[in-house]
Amino acid sequence: MIKNAKFIISSTDYKKCPQPTLPEYAFIGRSNVGKSSLINSIVNQKNLAKVSSKPGKTQLINHFLINDKWYLVDLPGFGYAKISKTKRQEFQKMTSNYLSYRDNLMCLFVLIDLRLKPQIIDQNFMQWLAIAKIPFKIVFTKSDKVNKNSIKKNIKKYKEYMRKEWEEIPEIFITSSLKKTGLIEIENFINQTNKLFIQNS
């Protein structure tokens, strides 16, 4: 159970992040996927992560300390945010360096809008993660926007699409920040994975 969550620091480089003494879980997704809303729902606070109607609001590596035991990290989104090409490249370098070199990163949650068909940009990113051996899970967002039959149908289509390239489909969480669907499952996964960090440290 998440009892407290507090903002620690915003960083422009993984080297400026907090000392890697606690397990860490990062959230990333294309612009407007509902990342900030999901983070706020997980920690049960309205404004911990800044929610904006304008895509590309998150532009730094944002660390939040949860229960004084682990870090939740809000990473810049990717995709169609209205920012310059130069700025986009800066974000990509900042994020890829963080994912590649942050030793205490236990898992990356890749957020995907459940309503959309598979997007090439998501697939390319997940393939890069697999090649780089960065552990990640798929988190489908906005499940409250579609009915139960559509949820099953959309996820089935997504898996079928991924099986063309993937030998094994990453673990999937189905979430809604509005209805708090799937949040307990994510928290349980984090609690279990935290034990591995203690054992390996």
Ramachandran angles phi, psi of 66, nearest 5°: -110, 125
Q: How confident is residue 77, by pLDDT bands cut at 50, 70 and 90?
A: confident
Burial 23-55 (b: 16+ CB within 10 A, else e): bbbbbbbbbbbbbbbbbbbbbeeeebbeeeeeb
Q: What percent of the chain has pLDDT over 70?
A: 87
Return the pLDDT at 67.
Answer: 96
C-alpha 121/C-alpha 117 separation (Å) is: 12
Q: How far is CA 22 from CA 36, 74, 153, 201, in A?
A: 22, 16, 38, 9
Domain extents in the chain: 5-195
Structure tokens at 32: 């407007």
Summarised one tens digit per residue, pLDDT across range 89-124 is: 666 889 999 999 999 999 999 999 999 999 999 999
Q: Under 8 Å CB-to-CB from 108, ≥6 apart: which residues?
A: 25, 26, 27, 28, 99, 129, 134, 135, 136, 137
Q: What is the mean pLDDT of residues 28-48?
A: 91
CATH class of 5-195: alpha beta
Average pLDDT, the chain: 89
Amino acid at 73: V
Summarised one tens digit per residue, pLDDT across range 164-188 is: 999 999 999 999 999 999 999 999 9
Say what the pTM is.
0.91
Cα 93–Cα 35–Cα 196 angle in degrees, nearest 5 = 75
Burial 158-196 (b: 16+ CB within 10 A, else e): beeebeeeeeeeeeebbbbbeeebbbeebeebbeeebee
Return the pLDDT at 53.
Answer: 47
Return the pLDDT at 78.
Answer: 73
Summarised one tens digit per residue, pLDDT across range 125-170 is: 999 999 999 999 999 999 999 999 999 999 999 999 999 999 999 9
